[in-house]
Structure 1
Amino acid sequence: MANTSAQTEQQIASLEKRSIVSSFLFKYPDIHSRAAEVALFHRSDKVRTYQHYLAPISGSIDRHTDASPLDAAWRELKEETSLTPDSAKLWRKGRPFTFQDYSVGREWTIYPFAFLLKLQTRTRRHTVDEECIAGDGETDGVVLDWEHSFHNWYDPDEVLSRLLEDGEEARVSGQKLVPRIADSLIQVYPEYELGPVAGRRLREGLQQLQDDHESGARELTTIALNIFRDVLNDVRPSDSDAVGTNWEEWWRKARLTAWHIWMNGRESMGAAIASALLTALAELEPLYRDLQPDGENVDRLIDALIEKRRAMTTALSQAFTVYVDDELWEYRDKTTLKIVSLSASSTIRESILQLLSALAEGRIHTVVAGGRIRTVELRVLESRPLFEGVSLASAIVSSYEKSRKDREHEVQLHVTIYTDASAALACTGVDMLLLGADRIAKDGAVSNKTGSLPAILAAKHVAPRSKVVVLSELDKVADPDYHPAVENSDVEEVMAAWRKTVREEALGVVEAGGGNVPGRGRVEVKNVYFEWVPPELIDAYITEEGIQGEENIRQRSQWIDKQIHRFFDDLTEASQSSMSCKY
């Protein structure tokens, strides 16, 4: 046994190591379709390996030029299909895996991705038994290079079923498929494992999270928990006395669902979603061990987590009020408290309303030579392109007016909305700049709405005594290895406002873009939602557990990392085992 093991290790060591991306292209036939189709590409006789096999779009990761596997995936997609972020979007990521193919002398590490065509096109869907023919994909906008002869569209469930039934001898449209394509496909298409009902519910839930650009991380996390609950109930064995193997499968599907909601829902806000789902898994685990995860128990557990999250917001708001009372003593020679903020954080909204209530009810000891704080002046940046700052200002004013009662001390609220470009004017003379957080890195850096960093830099210059305060639940702290891709959102959100004021001919030049034609100028519009604020610019982190230091944040990040490995590390192995049983 020892000799055999040593020989195997020597064989593996002799293999050429290659890291590649494996990108599946999906599309919806029309706006009403609930089922996606996947493209399989016929490799030409010009490629070095797996000639005439069906495959996804794949290629090697160049560690010198590709900043990440995702960058490599986009590069390969453009080279082999001409598709760009204008015509396709990143739909899903899968977990990477490694395997050896001794027939070609290589060890492959695969990074699976799924991209979705933005244009809904109705092309003929092939069955797995139809003969492979060229030409049917000409209306979908895909332009192939020399690496592929043609492509056709298939039902991904049919493809995976054929691969599971026939293993390495499987044929689709009479053609062989590249090795381990099933392992790659199932990583980005969990619907097959979950079944039609739960799979559709997860797909629609992921789309809901991806399309929601108005809710903050806290609201999206509640939505994610409800999606998780619904899928869990859909995959629960029908017999409450089901044998342990069925519950093993349920538990694996629960963890699989949680992983996809985290990574393939709204990844830029994934820190809060991951934290909530990991907490849910930790509390579900005893139910699974005792074979008691029935619908009522699951509902009760998720409801309790959602209620706990509401209580977290209340505790955080109270901690903010205490901070104002204890830490801003140097500003108590004035009767006006000046605060600037941006975007539409529900945490900031509730915290400001709690502060107003405490001031009006005399719960803050603000007596100074000039009297009590009688006015709160709130300055809000509009927060383009969706103007969430306007929503924040409106919500605070409406809620405050509704809650006003005969109190011992009346507090006036003055709200002013500023353009993003006038951040320096908005910050002049302020006492505090409030930021929410979509995620917090292990070193204390904060990712928040684009515009946060310029506002802070302006405040440091025009109001050097002001405090930069981050209001965030602890579950926004991300694991140490969490590096989500930059979220480039639809540029139409930016251009929509231009259409009302920019001259038509000028807008036409921007819309035309210019492309990469030699000798011509090129116009590109960016709509990046989030940016990072370094920790050295932040004066305080206020959470539901009070003021936190960078060490607390580091410890929370380590806990998240430990849970991620505990619940998710074996998912890839389990998927490969189920899909490779006949390979």
Structure 2
Amino acid sequence: MAQSLAAAGQKLERRTVVSVLLFPHQPYASKPYRVLLFRRSDKVSTYRRKLAPIAGSVETYDKSPLHAAWRELKEETSFGPQQIELWRRGAGFEFTDQKVVVVGEGDHQVKGRVWKVWPFAFRLTKETADYSNDVDKLGLKMNFEHLGCQWQNVDDVLSGKILDDCVPRLEVTLGQVWVDPDSILYQALEELRLDHSHGARELATMAVKSLIKIVEHDQQTQRPGDVTEWWKGFQRQAFHLAFNGRPSMAAAISNAVATALKEAKNQIDPSAPNYLENVRQSLDASVAKRGEISRQVSHQFSRFLRDTFRPAAQGRTGEKERIKILTLSSSSTIKTAILHALDADGSLSMELRILESRPLNEGVSFANALTEEAQRRHEPGATGPFIDDRLRIVLASDASVGVLSKDVDLVIIGADRISEAGDVSNKTGSLAAALISKAVTNGTAAVVCISESEKIAVPGAAADHPEEDNDKTELTSSWGKPQPAALWDEMITVRNVYFEWVPAQHIDYYVCEDGTLSTQDIRQRSKRIYEMMNEVFTVEQGLNIFETPGRL
């Protein structure tokens, strides 16, 4: 098909565009499910009087297709982040329309065009939510490109019922971002979205396990068919899990999904009737490998303490003493690394200072997990050396970061995402811990990021990655029930941000499963990860469904 597209579009103009669909604040809240479509005016150059999403070309000055989507929304509707929010991104696709008439200046007409489409789904914010179907209440200010807009039934588009009145391939654009609420994929996306108790590594494993559930479902419900067509559909479901389940943790999730997908594809034999079973077994093996990676990270942290940190620390003090470590909240990666280090070196003693995080108070969970493990080792038949005499834990509020930073040796942070430049996205409070510990210790404290390398993101600036602002009631519920002043809602904005960026300049070491990395190592790995993503998320030769580096 790729060759036929190329042949058909060889002499046609090519245009890369964004196609932006708008949905209610709660897209699945009630049936019929709705999408907002716009009636194109007579002043546009193509598809006049047709129903369409917000659309426009990706210009050379756009940083990314997503940047172009925001720009087009602002230009054509006046809406910005106060009124709408990114909900999902869809896999890019390409098609040729040889019948389209492109009208230029002086009614000059050109027939035919090859379109490369980047689909996006936005939804109304809670403050802008329209529950009455009255588009006049939305406050849209449409420009000359549209005559009006109206809510349409999602099923009417997907079924083809109204496609004669729509721009071409609207059903494909919608199909790239819409997920059947009765599907295994929808359940998996909801699990990722709603899970606020696990970190990026665990969520990445959950995503791969969800791929297994999808394959098992297909084994039970599908007859053996065209493996190529099945794989394309499976790729698109994997794309959703990679990028739409939990965007703030998409580096780890997308890396895990892409790695598993790459290995599974190598197991497909089109002539084998049991290709689904081969894929399932490959995905099972990918899940098993993930546990080994975590153990390797812990092993490398122990080596770091033995070979890099402890000799330097002993050089300062002249004798072995309890290492003072500052960390925050709760991280399964850090917990496992701490326990492994104590197990690997019986002479090692630690004072672990944990900054409690709000509003979920995960620090106490971290401390409790360590004390429970220490207690377990005293039980009959238990394995592992005793650690309660070599581990002391101090737990304090995150506001006490200055106090707990006094004479600290190491500040350990995890990572939910690492940019190509080495900037680290981690739990809010990480930046304060890094900066204040350096100031309080006159620069002697070392800031160490412990993370699996899968959390290294594809090329792109830290600012390009999504910020996760969560349900503010998690925070406000701890305030009791004060009587707010009449102007409270007008004057006060409550934010519940889980993650923040720690610039690379404030991080001394990056420890992963392969050892200690430099920022140059991270940059090179970021490029290789992009190359793998581009290879895995490709549906046809020369036609990928993943965005280009630097345009994310």
TM-score computed with the length of structure 1 as normaliser: 0.76
Give SS of 1:528's match.
coil
- Does residue 533 of the first structure (1) align with residue 534 of the second (2)? no
**Alpha-carbon separation, structure 2, partners of 1:318 and 1:435:** 17
Instruction: Determine the structure 1 residue equivalent to 2:518.
Output: 549
- Tell me the alpha carbon deviations over residues 90-132 of structure 1, each in whole angstroms, 9 at most, x when there is no partner: 2211234566754335876643211234669997xxxxxxxxx
Q: Which amino acid aligns with 2:157?
A: V
For 2:136 and 2:194, the matched residues in 1 are separated by 23
Q: Secondary structure at the match of 1:288?
A: coil
Query: Shift of residue 74 of structure 1?
Result: 4.6
Partner of 1:384: 358
- What SS does structure 1 have at the residue aligned with 2:444? coil
| Cα shift at 1:377 | 1.6
More off after superposition, 34-43 vs 428-437: 34-43
Whole-angstrom CA distance in 2 between matches of 1:323 and 1:275: 25
Letter paired with 2:303: V
Task: Report the alpha carbon displacement of residue 458 of structure 1 after superposing the two structures with TM.
Answer: 1.1
TM-superposed CA distance for 1:254, in Å, is 2.0
Q: Deviations over 1:405-444 (max 9, x none)?
A: 6957862433223333332222111111111111222333
2:193 counterpart residue number: 210
Q: Note if 1:263 corresponds to 2:243.
A: yes
Query: Which whole-Å CA distance do the structure 2 matches of 1:236 and 1:35 have between them?
Result: 30
1:570 aligns with 2:539: yes
Residue 470 of structure 1 pairs with residue 449 of structure 2: yes
Residues 32, 153 of structure 2: 8 Å contact kept = no
Q: Distance in 1 between matches of 2:198 and 2:510?
A: 22
Letter in 1 for 2:153: Y
Distance 1:467 1:181 in 2: 53
Q: CA RMSD in A?
A: 3.9
Question: Structure 1: which 5+ residue stretches go unaligned?
Answer: 124-135, 367-372, 514-522, 577-583
Moved more, 69-78 or 285-294: 69-78
2:413 to 418, 425, 435: 435
**SS across alignment from 1:487:** coil
In the alignment, the residues of structure 2 paired with residue 281 and residue 458 of structure 1 have an alpha-carbon distance, to the nearest angstrom, of 42
| Distance in 1 of aligned mates of 2:184 and 2:452 | 28
1:162 alignment partner, SS class: coil
Structure 1 position 299, deviation (Å)? 3.6
Return the offset for 1:568.
1.5
- Bigger Cα displacement from structure 2, 554-563 vs 261-270: 554-563
Task: Identify the match of residue 176 of structure 2 among 161, 168, 187.
Answer: 187
User: Which of the residues 157, 160, 169 maps onto 1:162?
Assistant: 160
Report the counterpart of residue 12 of structure 1 in structure 2: 13
Q: What letter is aligned with 1:449? A: K
Q: Give the 5 Å matches for 1:4-403.
A: 12=13, 19-26=17-24, 31=29, 36-43=33-40, 50-58=47-55, 69-71=65-67, 73-74=69-70, 77=73, 88-96=84-92, 101-105=100-104, 110-117=117-124, 137-138=133-134, 142-146=138-142, 147-156=146-155, 158-162=156-160, 170-171=163-164, 176-189=165-178, 191=180, 200-236=183-219, 242=224, 246-289=226-269, 291=272, 294=275, 296-327=277-308, 328-332=310-314, 333-359=319-345, 362=346, 364=347, 373=349, 376-403=350-377
8 Å contact 2:414–2:449 — kept in the other structure?
A: yes
Question: What CA distance in whole angstroms lies between the structure 1 residues aligned with 2:342 and 2:482?
Answer: 41
Cross-structure match for 2:479: 499
Deviation at 1:549, TM superposition (A): 3.3
Using the TM superposition, name which of 400-409 and 211-220 deviates more: 400-409
Q: 1:81 to 1:456 in 2, by over 3 A?
A: same
For 1:93 and 1:312, locate their aligned partners in 2 and report how far apart those are by CA, in whole Å. Answer: 29
Distance 1:142 1:62, change over 3 A: farther
Q: Structure 1 residue 219: deviation in Å?
A: 0.9
Q: Which segment is superposed worse, 387-396 or 68-77?
A: 68-77
Q: Tell me whether 94-103 or 50-59 shows the greater mean CA deviation.
A: 94-103
Q: Higher mean Cα deviation, 211-220 or 399-408? A: 399-408
Structure 1 position 316, deviation (Å): 1.7
Distance 1:537 1:207 in 2: 35
**How many residues align structurally?**
513
What CA distance in whole angstroms lies between the structure 2 residues aligned with 1:321 and 1:75? Answer: 48
CA distance, structure 2, for counterparts of residue 94 and residue 409 of structure 1:
49
Q: Distance in 2 between matches of 1:456 and 1:414?
A: 22
* Percent sequence identity over aligned pairs: 35
Aligned residue number for residue 455 of structure 1: 433
Q: Give the secondary-structure state (helix, strand or coil) at the position aligned to 1:287.
A: coil
Kept in 2: contact 1:80–1:143 (CA 8 A) = no
Q: TM-score scaled by structure 2?
A: 0.79
Q: Is the deviation greater in 140-149 or in 418-427?
A: 140-149
CA pair 183-510 structure 1, distance change in 2 beyond 3 A: same
SS at match of 1:137: coil
Q: Could you say if the C-alpha distance between residues 264 and 482 of structure 1 is closer, same or farther in structure 2, counting changes exceeding 3 Å?
A: farther
Q: What displacement does 1:340 show?
A: 0.7
Deviation at 1:498, TM superposition (A): 6.3
Is the partner of 2:353 in helix, strand or coil? strand
Which residue identity does 1:480 align to in structure 2? P
C-alpha distance in 2, partners of 1:322/1:542? 10
Q: How far did 1:349 drift?
A: 1.3
Contact 2:21 2:54 in 1 (8 A): yes
Change (3 A) 1:68 1:548: closer
Go from structure 1 to structure 2 and tell me whether the alpha carbon gap of 1:237 and 1:358 turns closer, same or farther (over 3 Å shift).
closer
Match of 2:400 in 1: 422
Q: Which amino acid aligns with 2:176?
A: Q
Residues 225 and 7 of structure 1, relative CA distance in 2, 3 Å threshold: closer
The Cα of 1:496 is off from its aligned counterpart by: 1.2
Tell me, yes or no, if the aligned pair for 2:374 and 2:386 is still in contact at 8 Å. no
Secondary structure of 1:289's partner? coil
